[in-house]
Amino acid sequence: MIPDQAMETDILITNIQLPGRLGETPLVKDCSIAIKGEQIVRIGPADEFSSVSGKKIINGQNRLAMPGLINCHCHGAMTLFRGLADDLQLGDWLNDHIFPAEAAHATPEMVYWCTKLAAAEMILSGTTTVADGYFHEQEAARAFSDAGMRAVAAQGVIGFPAPGVVDPADNISAAGAFIDQQQADGPLVEPAVFAHSPYTCDPETLQAAKALAREKGVSLFIHLAESRSEPEMIIGMQGESPVRHLDALGILDPDTVCIHCVWVDDADLDILAASGAGVVVCPQSNLKLASGIAPLADMLARGISVGLGTDGAASNNSLDMFREMDLCAKVQKCRNLDPVAVPASRILEMATSGGAAVLGREADLGSLEPGKKADIILIDVDVPHLQPMHGVDLLVYGAGKAEVRTVLINGQLVMEERKLLRFDLAETMQRVRALAEVVYRSNHSGAS
Ligand SMILES: [Zn+2]
């Protein structure tokens, strides 16, 4: 029994529905959530809140409260290249289109505004935390911070000249400087290192990137075993599979996050499981580039910590985690020819508490509990396609971004009834359109 003593809080969400326990009632009605500072301080039936007041009251009628979704892999700034080069092989897409476009257009200004557009898209579709990786990442961090969005921002490391790092010999020191600066900044953005892949970073660079991450106490993210050609390429260059290559270099540990892992065999999965490294699957991007379908059920069976990511808008082309969850559940059923391979409840977990675990944040993110950060989304369930609701699994198969009405991150309202409160969306879209105009003109200059 909660003691009945007066409690003043910053935000009190009333009349809200919460997910019920599996096998019991699907939704628990007439609940409240009290938020003080950055945290949830009380959550439960309304009759436990008779002595709780809030400086701001949010009426949650017809709304379901869920933990904010966690997008474990994105390149926010790549919204500029959304739709620029569709329907291509990964190698052609990267080498003939994306890398040249980034070399020409990925300026600090571009990273700031295009990441802000990504933040808008993600908040509007219920994502409250994103793991981002790009160049000029200090500008991405500033964009997430200005948008009020939580982020793990990882500075890119790659073995050739990159935006903001003209000489690859400087990429580790640039990442180190970014981490030092970011660790001194606000509470929303946590820095990290993003080594692009084993085929764009040589072994020395990979080891140096991991050594830096260890020295600074941050995570290392890396694209790994994404396309069918990657194992052939790495076996050709290094004599072993991409996973074994990283393992031999001493890079796999619980603070390393491996993205994709589509082309992995049983021995690779055993190595990943033993290392404690996290994995992020990005099914939409993998399907669009025809990279394949990650063996998610095999990963989960081994106890690997797995999160879900959209990847960047150039290869998806959406940053909507509801779309990602739906697709992830269904392609896994087809890959395994088994409809129970990875159930919807497991997918929802990957997009919330599982994602938090991959990012090392399970203690304070990923679920609605007292003491956790108040990263909360309010979903309108009073719509025909979400009625009746026999269980929250319906959110995976039936909900869309339009039903996300209100979003709180770190105890702050960042969207109320679909209006973004922290920045001017119209200005952001105008800035991105102006940048896209330059891309278009440079792609068509000299054409007859
Ligand atoms: Zn990626």
Asked whether residue 277 is assigned to any structural domain, the reply reads yes
As a whole number of Å, the end-to-end CA separation of the chain is: 77
Asked whether residue 139 is assigned to any structural domain, the reply reads yes
Q: What CATH number does the domain containing 271 carry?
A: 3.20.20.140
What pLDDT is attached to residue 22?
A: 61
What pLDDT is attached to residue 2?
A: 55
Any idea which residue has 């065999």 for tokens? 265
Both 267 and 316 in one domain: the answer is yes
DSSP letters, 63-102, are: EEEEEPEEEEEE-GGGGGGTTTS-S--HHHIIIIIIHHHH
Q: How far is the CA of 313 from the centre of ligand 1 (A)?
A: 10
Nearest Cα neighbor of 312 from 54, 51, 135, 157 is 135
Query: And the tokens for 331?
Result: 């392609």
Over residues 305-364, the pLDDT tens digits come to 999 999 999 989 999 999 999 999 999 999 999 999 899 999 999 999 999 999 999 999
Asked whether residue 397 is assigned to any structural domain, the reply reads yes
Residue 125: give the domain boundaries: 69-358
Nearest Cα neighbor of 294 from 248, 254, 342, 255 is 342
Both 33 and 86 in one domain: the answer is no
Both 296 and 177 in one domain: the answer is yes
Both 260 and 376 in one domain: the answer is no
Q: What number of helices (H) and strands (E) belong to the chain?
A: 16, 17
Q: How far is the CA of 149 from the centre of ligand 1 (A)?
A: 19
Asked whether residue 438 is assigned to any structural domain, the reply reads no
Q: How far is the CA of 192 from the centre of ligand 1 (A)?
A: 15
**Nearest 5 degrees, angle CA 303-CA 308-CA 310?**
155
Q: How far is the CA of 260 from the centre of ligand 1 (A)?
A: 8
Q: How far is the CA of 239 from the centre of ligand 1 (A)?
A: 25
Query: And the tokens for 53?
Result: 């007041």
Q: How far is the CA of 63 from the centre of ligand 1 (A)?
A: 33
Q: How far is the CA of 157 from the centre of ligand 1 (A)?
A: 13
Both 235 and 138 in one domain: the answer is yes
What pLDDT is attached to residue 447?
A: 45
Q: How far is the CA of 57 from the centre of ligand 1 (A)?
A: 39
Q: How far is the CA of 369 from the centre of ligand 1 (A)?
A: 31
Q: What CATH number does the domain containing 410 carry?
A: 2.30.40.10
Taking 50 as the pLDDT cut, the residues of the chain under it are 447-448
**Nearest 5 degrees, angle CA 373-CA 316-CA 398?**
65
pTM equals 0.96
Residue environment code for 37-73, b if the CB has 16+ CB neighbours within 10 A, otherwise e: ebbbbbbeeeebbeebebeeebebeebbbbbbbbbbb
Q: How far is the CA of 266 from the centre of ligand 1 (A)?
A: 23
Asked whether residue 27 is assigned to any structural domain, the reply reads yes
Looking at the structure of the chain, the number of domains it has is 2
Contacts of 262 (CB under 8 A, 6+ apart): 225, 226, 227, 286, 291, 292, 293, 294, 295
Both 258 and 114 in one domain: the answer is yes
Q: How far is the CA of 391 from the centre of ligand 1 (A)?
A: 32
- What residues does the ion ligand 1 have nearby, CB within 5 Å? 311
- The helix or strand, by DSSP H or E, that contains position 440, with its residue range, turns out to be helix 425-444
Q: Which of 332, 358, 384 is the last residue of a domain?
A: 358
